[in-house]
Amino acid sequence: MKKINVITLGCSKNTVDSEHLMARLAAAGYEVVFDSDRTDAKTVVINTCGFIGDAKQESIDMILRAAAAKQAGKIERLFVIGCLSERYADDLRTEIPEVDAYFGARTWDGVVRALEASGEPELATERLLTTPKHYAYLKISEGCNWMCGYCAIPLIRGPHVSVPMETLEEEARKLAARGVRELIVIAQDTTYYGIDLYGRRMLAELLRRLCRIDGIEWIRLHYAYPAAFPDDVIEVMASEPKICKYLDIPFQHISDAQLASMHRRHTKAEAMELIRRLRGAIPDLALRTTLLVGYPGETEEDFAELMEFVREVRFERLGVFAYSEEEGTYSARELHDDVPDAVKQERVERIMALQNGISLENNSRRVGRTERVLIGSRQGDFYVGRTQYDSPEVDQEILIPADGRRLMRGRFYNVRIESAADYDLYGSVIGR
């Protein structure tokens, strides 16, 4: 049997792309491994990230290692796909000619033909999962129309294109039949879903339909753009018990001057009003956000306003990134990257130090509560799980002493929280 190794770099949206490709490869008779060092796989496919500097460098380093392996005769064919090759295919062909072919991120037709994979339409909703079998990402659209000043995604992935609702329902039913219990709904902007197909935003209706699928117990919503946030999404999150009380909503900044320069299409007042509406309708909501510091023109006053925003809102989950100039974006063309790297890094550290204390206080208030926990793994003397307030890979976990009892991976248990750290909880199973 032919063996092929698919290596995926970057975000969860890339993960879904690779899983769809691997299903087509498996249908064509390949033995598929993923993210593997196996030397008996003579064909290698690298799905790259081209979003920010560190991610691009990781992708380039991986391509160079694979190219060296090909030169040494360890692999026979090497293909590169995804965001980096969408953006820089001509440069990559010149600099790393050992790669057999480069394909972009917007269509899979070329790589499917090159690998002699199956192109059958009925495989459109099939995936070979690379996540643990109890959860999976569901990508509901591609591309983005917002054109934020710092972001290269529209240049790479193109404009927003929704996946038809019936296709998503079929894919979700297949995932549930294979044991998936948690769907993590993702896109560049999930709240924009449906506007191109149905003439209006249809995320709430999609969520209702997903809730009706037997076997799915948790539905988690990621990457919701703050501007024009749909009221019906708030309503469905508050009313549907399967939808996790969790929302990933990247605000990026709060200073009106920075928001305007970033082309974020909302104001500070609108952001604060949205947070008020969300927490008013869903009192136990865990809000996750990402922030961007060191954007061109960010003053100490802007940054102080951002710190106060974090202090006031007390996000349950927060990530912060230093601005990285990306060629072709508005900020790279029109603005001067005038915040020194040392200042950017200091601002990252100041926000995270503040958030560490907030996270510890938030976690400490949960001690004594009993929460439903999905078990993911065992590590040493502890089982590791998550509550509905935590997404895999990016958020905290709850650690449960094994104490001679066996907990099943992918099962739910009621767990009493006994103690808290800044980014971990400790608990014990209640009942059997």
pLDDT for 432:
59
pLDDT for 110:
86
End residue of a domain, out of 307, 330, 364: 364
Question: What average pLDDT values come out for the chain (432 residues) when binned by 10 residues?
Answer: 89 94 92 82 92 85 94 93 90 93 85 86 93 97 94 92 97 97 97 96 98 98 95 97 97 98 97 98 96 98 98 97 93 96 98 97 96 95 96 95 91 97 94 66
CATH code, 97:
3.40.50.12160
Structure tokens at 305: 């306003």
93 and 22 share a domain?
A: yes
pLDDT for 385:
97
- The model's pTM is 0.94
End residue of a domain, out of 332, 364, 396: 364
Q: What is the tally of structural domains in the chain?
A: 3
349 and 298 share a domain?
A: yes
273 and 415 share a domain?
A: no
Encoded amino acid at 36, one letter: S
98 and 133 share a domain?
A: no
79 and 140 share a domain?
A: no
30 and 154 share a domain?
A: no
101 and 149 share a domain?
A: no
The residue whose two tokens read 């199973």 is 429
288 and 214 share a domain?
A: yes
58 and 133 share a domain?
A: no
186 and 92 share a domain?
A: no
CA atoms within 13 A on the CB side of 381: 3
Could you report how far apart the first and last alpha carbons of the chain are, in Å? Answer: 45
Q: How far is CA 147 from CA 25, 150, 224, 270, 387, in A?
A: 34, 8, 15, 19, 34
CATH code, 377:
2.40.50.140
289 and 342 share a domain?
A: yes
Q: How far is CA 233 from CA 224, 261, 395, 422, in A?
A: 10, 28, 23, 30
CATH code, 233:
3.80.30.20
360 and 268 share a domain?
A: yes
Q: Which of 40, 28, 45 is nearest to 74 (CA)?
A: 40
Q: Give the dihedral of Cα atoms 58, 61, 67, 69; nearest 10 deg.
A: -100
pLDDT for 36:
74
- List the domain range (segments joined by +) for residue 30: 3-122
Q: How far is CA 259 from CA 37, 67, 295, 297, in A?
A: 44, 42, 10, 11
CA distance 224 to 229: 8
End residue of a domain, out of 97, 122, 147: 122
